[in-house]
Amino acid sequence: MSTNWLIILVIVAAVISPIFWLMPSPRQRYQMELRKQAMHAGLKVRIEKLKLNGQEYSAVAYRWMREDKKNVYRFKVARTARLEKEEIGIYGDPFIEGWHWLEEPMPIADAATLAKLEEMLKALPADTMILEGGTATLTLWWHENGSPEDVQKLAELFAQSPV
């Protein structure tokens, strides 16, 4: 009789165990909450391929659609504390301490605009990898180790972006 119960228990465990694999981990739940907060704040969140040094990496991109598409700059700047120099293949000069240009601003930005960009970079979450400005968007590539307040602050920074 005890052998039958053991067999039944093993069968029930085998049926139920895949259900637990499908449940999100606490980290995944936290990321879902951050992404939901970002979408409510007007950011688009996607897992995309980030091309660095000829290689592709999966990374999370928080993207702000620019309202004013005139007088914008195209640029890409990387936090060197988050990425190794060999990994990002630094193409440009250092911008400020801890940040290197991957693509310098086009058109060339004036000193006042660069000073505002510097302030913006200092206000970004600590785990930011890259900030990229395009003609239609501003994109933050990061590891999502911030708080919901960081996401709200990010949306506010992007809305007031000088670049």
Q: Is residue 12 part of a domain?
A: no
Tens-place pLDDT, residues 45-101: 999 988 776 778 888 999 999 887 777 889 999 887 756 665 555 556 778 888 888
Q: Is residue 130 part of a domain?
A: yes
Q: Is residue 80 part of a domain?
A: yes
pLDDT for 91 = 58
Q: What are phi and psi of 48, to 5 degrees?
A: -130, 170
Share of the chain above pLDDT 70, in %: 91
Report the alpha-carbon distance of residue 140 to residue 45 in Å, rounded. Answer: 10
Q: Is residue 44 part of a domain?
A: yes
Tally the domains of the chain. Answer: 1
Q: Is residue 14 part of a domain?
A: no
User: At how many degrees (to 10) do helices 111-123 and 148-159 cross?
Assistant: 170
Q: Is residue 19 part of a domain?
A: no
Whether 11 shows a pLDDT value over 90: the answer reads no
Q: Is residue 15 part of a domain?
A: no
pLDDT for 161 = 81
Q: Is residue 139 part of a domain?
A: yes
Order of all β-strands in the sheet with 99-106: 44-52, 55-65, 137-142, 128-133, 74-79, 99-106, 94-96
Structure tokens of 130? 């890259």
pTM: 0.80
Give me the domain span that covers residue 135.
24-159
